[in-house]
Structure 1
Amino acid sequence: MTKQALRALYRDKRNALAHDKLKLDDLLLIQFQQLSFENVDVLLTYWPMANQAEPNTHLFSGYLRHMIPNLQMAYPVSDFSAFSMHATLITPDTVYHTNRYGITEPKEGEPIANEQIDLVFVPMLICDEQGFRVGYGKGFYDRFLAGCREDVLKIGFSYFEPVKNIDDTQAFDVPLDYCITPYEIYEF
């Protein structure tokens, strides 16, 4: 299937999970806790969009904050005029706002270079067995990840098992290293 067809299908499937979401998020966290994060000092995470029924990334970043006491966390700040984003470090005092696209971002903060990031939580609707993902269709993360170190760890969270193949992947698409589902961890 194409990205467009998969995007529509998995948006509907994810929205249909509303009453199971808390349980599925807990199962995702259990799987996530199986991985090792010994070389992670800087995490780029994102605020889950409620209107997209995204997995609760706050659970995963909270776990890492507990396991890595000096963990630095950053959130993306989007530039829709250039279809790009940059990472902004957060603190306990960070103030957030939700932009017109429903994305919650830090209002201000210290930018951090892509090369300093060790781990990125990558939003997705579904991925394939090669680690290529279907996001929301604007390419923000693929462009951002292209500027990160080669060894940056890229993790996506999905309520669904990977599909066999995405028919229209492009040369600029950046595959995940891991897709975590409620019942299995896929490594690519």
Structure 2
Amino acid sequence: MAQARATFGGGCFWCIEAAFKELEGIESVTSGYAGGHVDDPSYEAVCTGETGHAEVVQLAYDPQTIGYDELLEIFFTVHDPTQLNRQGPDVGSQYRSAIFTHDDTQHELATAFIDELEAADVYDDGVVTEVEPLETFYPAEEYHQDYFEKNPTDAYCRMHAAPKIDKVREQFTDRVAEPSTRS
């Protein structure tokens, strides 16, 4: 089967990228921007909150190895979908919780997943994750790609990305790729 794509925004893209790179079936993870109204935005422009973009990661994955439903489960585990326009210390609409769907099936699965979370009262507060069709994905500047790998001792990465990686390794042991096969 052909490669599939999924696009998620859950705060700083460095942290979400690092968590998803741990997984078997993930062929690549690209940090970037989606959901805004400015063509080809820069990081500096997105950080103003005025472009409307969210920091996102776009996954290329093998759906025979890992399903979209599993990606949703992991996404909702590694970020807090109840925080409006923020994740931890990062505040602004560019850090919003968002799922940018690539087709109607992804849209249906994402909204059904959120409905299930809400019905099960998984969180104390309501889920604020936006679900909308992906119009355009803009890859972030090169220095943002593989940021955690390139900067493992960075204080922000140690405080915010490393715990997400640990959570994936602990809660999704059967989905973690061997170190030599990670994207």
Q: Bin the TM-score by the shorter chain.
A: 0.3 to 0.5
TM-score (norm 1): 0.32
TM-score by length of 2: 0.33
User: Going by fraction, where is helix more abundant, 1 or 2?
Assistant: 2
Higher relative contact order (CA 8 A, sep 6+): 2
